[in-house]
């Protein structure tokens, strides 16, 4: 009975071991992969990069990044592939074009509008 229990435990732990992160053998490629992983958003956790997340999706994305970089692709090519596959939201720094321009310039525009309102409200009018 104990042998069966140990066999079942080993059977259930095998998929977990298969998902373990295995760094690339080339330190330069691993460093490039790590840098890219910090730029990519976990689609499950949303607030974490795939480098930080423990979600299964992040583990799969890390494996994909390592595999593609190990096959000779440049990090920018891998990043573009993931953007095509998951959309621009997958990156923490979306490109500055199209509808994303609103995200980049809205804070500046709102700050400017707030300053104009504040100046008009607090400007001393002559005779008051």
Per domain, the residue ranges of the chain are: 2-94
Report pLDDT for 85.
93
User: Do 80 and 40 meet the contact criterion of CB atoms below 8 Å apart?
Assistant: no
Mean confidence (pLDDT) of the chain: 83
- The rounded distance, in Å, linking the Cα atoms of 115 and 128 is 22
Longest Cα separation, the chain: 97
Q: What is the DSSP letter of 91?
A: B
- Joined tokens for residue 115: 């300053």
Angle value at C-alpha 112, between 111 and 114, nearest 5 degrees: 65
Mean pLDDT of 100-125: 84
pLDDT tens for 26-67 read: 999 999 999 999 999 998 987 899 999 999 999 999 999 999
Answer left, alpha or beta for residue 103, where phi above 0 means left and psi between -120 and 50 means alpha: alpha
Mean pLDDT of 11-39: 78
- The rounded distance, in Å, linking the Cα atoms of 18 and 56 is 12
Considering the domain delimited by 2-94, tell me its CATH architecture. Answer: Orthogonal Bundle (1.10)
Confidence of residue 114 (pLDDT cuts 50, 70, 90): very high
Report pLDDT for 6.
63
Residue 72 has pLDDT above 90, yes or no: yes
């Amino acid at each position: 009975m104990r042998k069966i229990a140990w066999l079942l435990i080993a059977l259930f732990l095998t998929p977990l071991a298969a998902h373990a992160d295995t760094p690339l053998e080339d330190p330069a490629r691993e460093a490039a992969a790590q840098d890219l992983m910090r730029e990519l958003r976990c689609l499950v956790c949303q607030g974490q990069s795939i480098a930080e997340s423990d979600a299964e999706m992040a583990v799969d994305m890390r494996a994909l990044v390592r595999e593609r970089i190990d096959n000779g692709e440049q990090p920018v090519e891998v990043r573009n592939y993931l953007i095509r596959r998951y959309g621009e939201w997958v990156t923490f720094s979306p490109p500055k074009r199209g509808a994303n321009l609103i995200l980049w310039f809205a804070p500046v525009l709102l700050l400017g509008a707030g300053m104009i309102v504040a100046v008009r409200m607090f400007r001393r009018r002559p005779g008051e």
